[in-house]
Amino acid sequence: MLLVNLGTPDAPTPRALRRYLGEFLSDPRVVEIPRVVWKPLLHGVILNLRPAQSAKRYAAIWGKDGSPLLVHSLRQRTLLLGYLGQRLKRAGLPADLCPVELGMRYGSPSVGAALDSLAAAQCEKILVLPLYPQYAASTTASAFDAVAAHLAHVRRVPALRFVDTFHADPGYIKALARNVNDDWMKHGRPDRLVLSFHGLPRRTLDAGDPYHCFCQVTARLLARELGLEAKQWILSFQSRFGRARWLTPYTADVLRQLGAEKVGRIDVFCPGFVADCLETLEEIAVEGQALYRAAGGAAFRVIPCLNEHPAWIAALADIAFRNLAGWLEAPPDIDARQQTQARARALGAKA
């Protein structure tokens, strides 16, 4: 199995951010502007100004173990490997039958390095599972591009299966609800729940990208699982960049409005992120909270992402097993195979 997530800079420094943003913003799936227009702007302006700004934001969330996204993603990989091993043993199969590697679309560990590790483990079949619940061309399809680009230079290409979305997966929805309810058990229920998803330019929806629709489905299913009425929750989109119109409503606008209405306490939860990262720990917890309180709001909480919640790891294992169906078979016994080959050679020699 290959788990894929977005990625993170190696350090919260302008130099590391310049390298990371250069790779990220050079992806034509991410920035759908003609290269002849975008390249001079990227290398002449953005990569000279934005890295220092972004480095300060990353420094505010950087932990002693490094980037939160990478830390949580590696833990998810380790826990998933354990879950798979236990279920394989119960099925009478070797616990190490299905190695799991993590590859980041941008930065390290790279998708290519993860695929090389699986090849070194003699994996002839690989399930690629991007950790983006809602399909988008800029995330899920880009992960596919990275896999295909690396395998384009490999002589023995493995059999591949690719999970494109799990936005409505029952286990994923229940894990989201368990995570939210666990937080509410400790801190009580808010007056309003904001479900904030990463934003995309509006033109992606017009071009046929299902991301907006998938976010709506996830939000409705989660609200139903939590037993919320329509007036108790609202969906929004964050991380707008540039002057173009993006998916609405914008999270920043929603927070300002709720603050001005003095609705009381609001909780913000980001179902589209399976691990806490810059967008949740800084953009929402710091910038979003400041917007809400400046507009007149009071109590504000950010509910942690799924991270290593047991319900999420179990759901991830279920998704994996469904998509590995037919592949999880015990490898042939090497000694028995060698004996069979020897007998066949002996029979051939006698003939």
pLDDT digits (tens, 9 = 90+) for 264-302: 999 999 999 999 999 999 999 999 999 999 999 999 999
Task: Identify the burial level of 262 via C-beta atoms within 10 angstroms of its C-beta, where 0-12 means exposed, 13-18 middle and 19 or more buried.
Answer: exposed
Residues whose CB is less than 8 angstroms from the CB of residue 159 and which lie 6 or more positions away in sequence, other chains included: 124, 125, 126
Task: Pick the closest to residue 121 from 87, 85, 158 (CA basis).
Answer: 158
Asked if residues 87 and 321 have their Cβ atoms less than 8 Å apart, the reply is yes
Q: Residue type at 56?
A: K
Of 161, 235, 166, residue with least CA distance to 195:
235
% of the chain at pLDDT higher than 90? 91
pLDDT at 334: 47
Q: pLDDT per residue over 199-248, tens digit each?
A: 999 999 999 999 999 999 999 999 999 999 999 999 999 998 878 899 99
Q: How many CA atoms lie within 13 A of 329 on its CB side?
A: 8
pLDDT at 76 over 60: yes
pLDDT at residue 344 greater than cutoff 90: no
Q: Which residue has the higher pLDDT, 342 or 331?
A: 331
**H or E segment at 302?**
strand 300-302
Q: Of 310, 203, 225, which Cα lies nearest the Cα of 269?
A: 225
Amino acid at 87: R
What are the distances in angstroms from CA 108 to CA 73, 80, 180, 280? 12, 20, 30, 21
80 HSE (CA, 13 A, CB side): 26
Instruction: Tell me the sheet residues that pair with 5.
Output: 104
- Cα–chain center distance at 95: 26
Q: Identify the band that residue 341 occupies on the pLDDT scale cut at 50, 70 and 90.
A: low
Among the ranges given (23-27, 152-156, 172-176, 346-350), the one the predictor scored with the smallest mean pLDDT: 346-350
- Residues in the chain, overall count: 351
Residue 91 or residue 143, greater confidence: 143
Report the predicted TM-score, pTM, of the whole model to 2 decimal places. Answer: 0.92
Check whether 346 has a pLDDT greater than 70.
no
The β-bridge partners of 155 are none
Cα–Cα distance, 31 to 308 (Å, whole number): 31
Determine how many CB atoms are found less than 10 A away from the CB of residue 219.
23
Which of 261, 267, 255 shows the shortest CA–CA distance to 226?
267
Q: For residue 314, what are its two tokens? A: 């179990």
- The phi and psi torsions of 107 (rounded to 5 degrees) equal 90, -160
Residues in Cβ contact with 244 at an 8 Å cutoff, skipping those fewer than 6 apart: 201, 202, 203
Phi first, then psi, for residue 221 (nearest 5°) are -65, -40
Mean pLDDT of the chain: 94
The DSSP-derived string for 314-347 is: HHHHHHHHHHTTTT--PPPPHHHHHHHHHHHHHH
326: left (phi over 0), alpha (psi -120 to 50) or beta: left
